[in-house]
Amino acid sequence: MASIEFRNVAKSFDNGKVTVIPDLSFAINDKEFVVLVGPSGCGKSTTLRMIAGLEEASKGEIYIDNKLVNGVAPKDRDIAMVFQSYALYPHMTVYKNMAFALKLRKMPKTEIDRKVHAAAKMLGIEQLLDRKPGALSGGQRQRVALGRAMVRNPKVFLLDEPLSNLDAKLRTEMRSRIALLHKQLQTTFVYVTHDQTEAMTMADRIIVMDKGIVRQYDTPQKLYSEPADMFVAGFIGSPSMNFVDCTVRKNKGKITVDFAGNSMCVPEQKAKALVPYVDRTVVMGVRPENISAFADGQNECEGCVITAETEIAENTGGEVNVYFNLADSRCVACIRTEQKVSSGDVLKLFIDGNAVHFFDKETTGAISAV
Amino acid sequence: MQKSLKKYFPVFVLPVLAAFAVSFIVPFVTGVYLSFTHFKTVDSSEWVGLANYIGIITEDETFLPSLALTLRFTIVSIVTVNVLAFALALLLTRKLKGTNFFRTVFFMPNLIGGIVLGHIWSLIINGVLGFFGVDITYDPNYGFWGLVFVMNWQMIGYMMIIYIAGLQNIPDHINEAAAIDGASPARKLFGITIPMVMPSVTICTFLTLTNSFKLFDQNLALNGKAADTSLLALDIYKTFYDHTGLRLAEWHGIGQAKAVIFFLLVAAIAFIQLRATGGREVEN
């Protein structure tokens, strides 16, 4: 049980030639489940490895449980790590794999036995204790890796893309298992993934990273509803948010945005923030799920009706993902419809004005009322 | 596909089979037959039954001592070659500068032929011993340790390469997991690293064992003249070629019987070795 804090941490490789993390500061609370998410090479794994002590920070300070841990060996940081490749010792049985760290701490045998069996029971791998990792499936190995981390009662659990080697069904199952584990263990969890669905479903808070910089650090709901910039907006949510260039106009005291021959009346609380941008181009972001099929009689004032020619339609069962072009941008809408939609169909779609986001075209930052 | 391949089976296999038969099976069987005869040439043999095998014990005084020497030499070589080669491999898989250079340097002795190597070291060792007025034949211990040294010098680099390959096969994450689990360097070495390079240990032990047991060229070149430092292969050679006179046919028979026993020993050791270490290899 511990908090983690990064203060102006930088990390570079090859004697400073390659800087992965220029300047990183964040704090993780005790017992919190924080997910580090971002595209490949954004520095999230390096960050995790710096918490573990497998990489030394080039600059700055790292605190675990309010203690400075720069220069402290991994074994003395009281952390446990689950690797993407599981990193089980192939020549040891599951039992020995799980007991290894405890044995090194000279814990009494009966105590080791009790702990290993308790963890194995919790993870449902009791019947596998005598097997070697080579005889286990991917999912079973993953659970052994979790078990090996659990038995040590670490202050901090570090998980480096633990599910990316599993198939989709198993991944969903293990996702909820890990979330449950966090509840039961009441320990700080730091989880690295590039899968935003994993991040959204498991995290108390998410750190979105890009090029070694924290783009936004907030709860999943906040990231979704109030993304700080276009990167976060595009990264969180699936399919990704649509971005359309539009021009802000002031008309009879009302703020509207014009795009591709359409004009949308902006709801009042969003309009305020757009005042400084009148007659300038901004980027409008609309989530695919906020575009619906337009039904006659719907209140047009709350949004904008557009006509779109379907390029491709993907039926996902309950919904149809309709791809179309709008003002030179490729857009997608997730619509619920009974009708069959096929390529070439012209649809009337409704953009929910209350759910749109606006971003500064130059800084890519969100335009919000302060 | 299977069928048409089957049709050509003899075409592909016969040439190799014929070569193998002519160059290996026929001489081998002839050799075994000759060990039960007295002979001067292959076609002038006289059947004597087990007389040659009995003769090894009753007539010959060198076989058992040289067998003992060979066993001692083999055990010492296996230990020294493998320990040193593994230590070098550990050293040269660290991220140090110049590791590639040193890997090449340590491997190079292996490229020199045994006879040449034996002569070079005989010159060096005798040169040094010359200061004390003796040479390598002065004391059997000199010859023995000289052989161990030359064997190490030649084999370490080769075994080191095999160990390096084994060490590089251990995933980084396993070492990192061990570091997080809190394994001390010694514990990591004996608990993680060595068990994980067991396949390399098997290969290297096997190679050193057979190479030491069969050692001939270096022995001949380094201290072939000494009477009391002949390993088995050299002893067989000497049984054949160091005898002249009327009992030549008999000595040929005894030498041939020694060679058959030698073959059986090498085969048995190799078989036991594979059985014993094969089980400890990591199944992945």
Contacts of B200 in chain A (CB under 8 A): none
Q: Which residue has the tokens 């857009």?
A: A331
B59-106: pLDDT as tens digits: 888 888 999 999 999 999 999 999 999 999 999 988 788 888 888 888
Is B187 within the bounds of a domain? yes
How far does A75 lie from chain B, in Å, by closest CA?
5
B213-248 in b/e form (b: 16+ CB < 10 A) is bebbbbbbbbbbebeebbbbbbbbbbbbeeeeeeee
The verdict on B170 touching A (C-beta cutoff 8 Å) is no
When CB atoms are compared, the residue of A83, A101, A134 closest to B181 is A101
Residues B41 and B169 reside in one and the same domain:
no
Residues B26 and B95 reside in one and the same domain:
no
Peptide bond into B199 cis (omega under 30): no
Q: Which helix (H) or strand (E) holds A263?
A: strand A262-265
Is B283 within the bounds of a domain? no
Name the band, by pLDDT with cuts 50, 70 and 90, for residue B241: confident
Residues B45 and B132 reside in one and the same domain:
no
Residues of chain A where predicted confidence (pLDDT) is lower than 70: 1, 297-301, 369-370
B91-149: pLDDT as tens digits: 998 878 888 888 888 898 888 888 898 999 999 998 998 898 888 888 888 889 999 99
Average pLDDT over residues B151-177: 92
**Is it the case that residue B41 has pLDDT exceeding 90?**
no
Domains of chain A: which residue ranges? 4-232, 242-360
**pLDDT for residue B177:** 92
Separation of alpha carbons A41 and A20, rounded Å: 8
Residues B250 and B264 reside in one and the same domain:
yes
Separation of alpha carbons A36 and A163, rounded Å: 14
Is B137 within the bounds of a domain? yes
**pLDDT for residue B282:** 44
What letter represents residue B284's amino acid? N
Separation of alpha carbons A338 and A345, rounded Å: 14
The verdict on B194 touching A (C-beta cutoff 8 Å) is no
**pLDDT for residue A370:** 56
Residues B43 and B152 reside in one and the same domain:
no
The verdict on B283 touching A (C-beta cutoff 8 Å) is yes
Residues B185 and B135 reside in one and the same domain:
yes
Residues B46 and B154 reside in one and the same domain:
no
Is B82 within the bounds of a domain? yes
Separation of alpha carbons A8 and A10, rounded Å: 6
Residues B63 and B26 reside in one and the same domain:
no
Is B272 within the bounds of a domain? yes
Is B257 within the bounds of a domain? yes
Residues B20 and B159 reside in one and the same domain:
no
Separation of alpha carbons A250 and B244, rounded Å: 121
- Please list, in sequence order, all residues whose beta carbon lies within 8 angstroms of the beta carbon of residue A207, skipping any fewer than 6 positions away: A26, A34, A35, A36, A37, A44, A214, A216, A217
**pLDDT for residue B284:** 38
| CB neighbourhood size of B47 (10 A) | 10
Domain A242-360 falls under CATH 2.40.50.140: yes
Domain that holds residue B204: 52-278
Separation of alpha carbons A365 and B165, rounded Å: 51
The answer to whether the CB of B230 falls within 8 A of the CB of B66 is yes
Is B284 within the bounds of a domain? no
How far does B192 lie from chain A, in Å, by closest CA?
7
Contacts of A100 in chain B (CB under 8 A): 181, 183, 191
| CB neighbourhood size of A35 (10 A) | 25
Which residue in chain B is spatially nearest to A88 when comparing CA positions? B174
Separation of alpha carbons B33 and B29, rounded Å: 6
Contacts of B178 in chain A (CB under 8 A): 89
Separation of alpha carbons B155 and B205, rounded Å: 11
Residues B117 and B18 reside in one and the same domain:
no
Residues B191 and B75 reside in one and the same domain:
yes
List residues bridging with A304 in a β-sheet: A351
**pLDDT for residue B240:** 85
Residues B34 and B128 reside in one and the same domain:
no
The verdict on B179 touching A (C-beta cutoff 8 Å) is yes
Please answer yes or no on whether A134 and B177 come within 8 Å at the CB atom.
Answer: no
CATH class of A4-232: alpha beta
When CB atoms are compared, the residue of A74, A89, A90 closest to B180 is A74
Please answer yes or no on whether B195 and A91 come within 8 Å at the CB atom.
Answer: yes
Is B65 within the bounds of a domain? yes
Angle at A176 between CA A80 and CA A131, to 5 degrees: 60
Q: How many domains does chain B have?
A: 2
